[in-house]
Structure 1
Amino acid sequence: MTELLNWSEQAARAQATNKPIPPLPGDEYAVHFLNALAPSAGTAGIARMLQAGASPNACLIDMSWLGYATVISTPAQVRYLLDRGARPDEPRDSDGGTPLMSAIAASRWDNAHVLLDLGASAVAMTDGGMTALHLLAMASCPDGTTCPAKQSLAKRLLAMKTPVNARVRRQGTTALMLAALRGDVALIELLLADGADPSLKNQRGKTALMLAEQADRREAAALLRQHGKAPKH
C-alpha cells in the first residue's frame, strides 16, 4: 500500500503538469495500461486497450488495472471498466486489498462511491485484517483531516455494515483508534454512534482515548472521555 501511495503522488504531479503517468518500477508492460487510465485519455484509451485484447481484469505488478484506475482515473473511466467486465473486488492487490480500498487510501471518494454503486464489497478485509474504515480513518482531505465527502463515505460504509470494531491483526488497531490518532472528531462521532467500542485495546494496551492523548488530539480525547461518562442504554 505504501508503494501505491508514493506512486499515486507522482502520478498526481504528472497529471498536474500534463506529463505521462509514471509506471511503477520494474514493469514496462504496465506503461500502456497506465497511460490508458490518464484522465485526459477519457474512456477512449481504455476502449483501445480492450479492443486490442486487454483483459478488464488485468493485473499490473501488484494490483489490478481497475485498482489503478480508482487512484488516477475519473469516475466515468472507472465505471466504463466495470461496465465492461472488470470485477469490483477481484483480483486483489498484494496485501489482499480491493479496488475500493485503493480508492479510499488515495482519498478518491468519488471513485469509491462508483465502486459501491456497482457492487463492491464494503465488508472485505485485507490479509492483515484491515477494512475500508481503517483506510478511511488514515486518509486525508485536501484541506486537512476531515471533510464532508469523507464523512459521507463513512456513513455509507457504516450503513453497508463495514465491521466497525475489526482489528488489524498484528497491532490490534481499530478504525476508532486510527481516527483518534488523527484527531478526526467527525469520524470518531460516526464510529461511536455506530457501536465502535472505545474500551478495546491494541497490542500495546492502548485504547483510543490513550492514543488521542498521546498524540495531543485534545478535542478527540475530550469526545472519547465524554463518551465514556455517558450513561449506557
Structure 2
Amino acid sequence: MIRRMKQGINRKEIEKESKQEIEQIAVDMENEKYELRYQYVVGILEAKINIINEQLSREYHREIIRDVNSRLKKPDSIHAKLVRKGYERNFATAKKKLNDLIGIRIVCLFQDDIYRIAEMLEKQQDLEIIKVKDYIEKPKKNGYMSLHLIVDLPIYLGDKKETKRAEIQIRTTAMDFWSVLDYQMIYKKDVKGAEEAAKELKGYSEEIAALDRKMVKLREKIARI
C-alpha cells in the first residue's frame, strides 16, 4: 500500500513537472515570436514549391503536386520528443536538437514525382539540404513511407538575418492516407487489439508500395497509347 501511494505521488510530481515544462516552452515560443518566423519560412517554402509544381506540370503535361500543408510543432509535442530523445526539456534545446519544429508536407500522385520534386528543391541556391531520410527506399519498422528533407533556409527580419531549419516531407496520396491511420495508432498502443491492428496496417504499407509502383508503370503505358 505504501509503495503504491509513493508511486502515485511520484507520478503526480512528474506530471506536474512536465506540465510546467510544457507551459515554459509555450512562453518561450511566444516571447521569441516563433510563430511569426514559422509563417515566414512556410511562406518562402510554399512559394518555391508552387513554382516547382508549375515547372514540372508544364514539363510532364500532368498534375504533379496534389496538396501542400504545413504545421508548427506544438509545445506538448516538442516536450514529448525531447523526453523520448533524452534531451533537456526546454525550447533552447529543442531549437538545437530537433529538426522538425517547422514542417511542410507535399503530397503528389506518383512515387517517381517525389524524387523529381526533391531534385528541384536541391537546386535552390538559398536552400541548403542538411539531411535526407528516404523512408520509401527503406521504410520504418512500422511500415511508414515518405521522403524527408531537413533543410536550412535564411530569413530576414528587418536588417537581421537568421537561418531556420524545417523538415519537408514528400509522399504519395496513398502514403499520406496510410499515415493518417498510423498517427491514430500512436494513441492506441496500450489498447486491446492494437498489436493486431498495427500488424495489419504494416501489411497495407507493403501493398501501397506495390500499388504505387504499378501506377507509375500504368501511367507510362497510357502515355504511350
TM-score band, normalised by shorter chain? under 0.3
Higher strand content, 1 or 2: 2
Higher helix content, 1 or 2: 2
**Higher relative contact order, structure no. (Cα contacts within 8 Å, ≥ 6 residues apart):** 2
Superposition TM-score, scaled by structure 1 size: 0.27
* Structure exhibiting the larger radius of gyration computed from Cα positions: 2
